[in-house]
Amino acid sequence: MILTVTLNAALDITYRVPRLQPHTTHRVTEVSERPGGKGINVARVLTALGHETVATGFAGGGTGDALRALLAQETEVTDALVPVGGATRRTVAVVDASTGDTTQLNEPGPIVTPAEWDAFTATYRELLSGARAVALCGSLPPGVPVDVYARLTRAAHTAGVPVLLDTSGEPLRRGLAARPDLAKPNADELAALTGSTEPLRAARDARRRGAHTVAASLGAEGMLVVTADGAWQAAPPERIAGNPTGAGDSAVAGLLSGLVEGLPWPARLARAVALSAATVRAPAAGEFDRPTYEGLLGQVTVAEHPAG
């Protein structure tokens, strides 16, 4: 199975309004609630691709109960979330129907106590015994040490499990020092980490900081990967219109599924970029439009970087 870790899971709430305008009252035309957080989204896509997937992390309060209920109703993801006393956060997305733009409001998450962290650590180590790969995803809730992704990476490597790290800021910097097998920042996160806005240079810098491989999401321009053996860049055949929320999570699922299936890097990249683009066409994060994905998969261009 594939294990995904979402320490700061969320109940994703989406409001759709005809037009979003500051300082006014809005009539909401549609409301949806879904289990969310980066690792939860990754797990949903992995199960849709046919992989047995277990999701762990924290869940608590009424929002945590709602998240777990929706996860059970809507997916085949195995729930291994650890209970906490605080309430799971909510993320609120407001979609402007006139433009398609999304405004996101993210709560910080519950405070995690030392005892709750110890309970999670025990669960995580137990789950690693049956995992073929693990994805460490997203932000950290209050009370969790900033170096936890480094600790979880080392624990996975001790168990012989490869690690994909998808986070940002200081947790990313600390996590890279533990030498994850793959780090997947987006271009902005990579620039914030390295100080370079040139993706190839920044990705190489991130590798020097510890990651064995760096895959950088470039938005509508696709993805760049830098490994010890070279660099490749993949791009969709055309810009896909829609909501980009969750596109990076689908790319993670593509990379992770390609890893456990032993696909070569060009095939992994093609899958990741096609899934990412197909998610832009889907109504919510954690989903992808399958006809779009299947149509794009053979059209994604993957080229070895001349400077690789």
Question: Catalytic amino acids?
Answer: 249
120 near 58, Cβ under 8 Å? yes
Q: Report the C-alpha gap between 12 and 245 in whole angstroms.
A: 11
DSSP 237: S
> What three-state secondary structure class fits 235?
strand
DSSP codes of every residue in 70-131: HHHHH---EEEEEEESSPPEEEEEEEETTT--EEEEE---PPPPHHHHHHHHHHHHHHHTT-
Q: Report the C-alpha gap between 37 and 160 in whole angstroms.
A: 26
- Phi and psi (nearest 5°) for 86? -80, 165
Burial of 70 (C-beta count, 10 Å sphere; 0-12/13-18/19+): middle
Q: Report the C-alpha gap between 213 and 79 in whole angstroms.
A: 29
Instruction: Look at strands 2-6 and 53-60 and give their pairing.
Output: parallel
CA distances from 87 to 17, 34, 108, 137, 146 (A): 27, 16, 11, 19, 20
Q: Report the C-alpha gap between 206 and 249 in whole angstroms.
A: 20
Find, among 45, 37, 44, 40, the residue nearest to 90 by Cα.
37
Cα dihedral sign for 169, 171, 174, 179? negative
Helices then strands (H, E): number in the chain? Answer: 10, 14
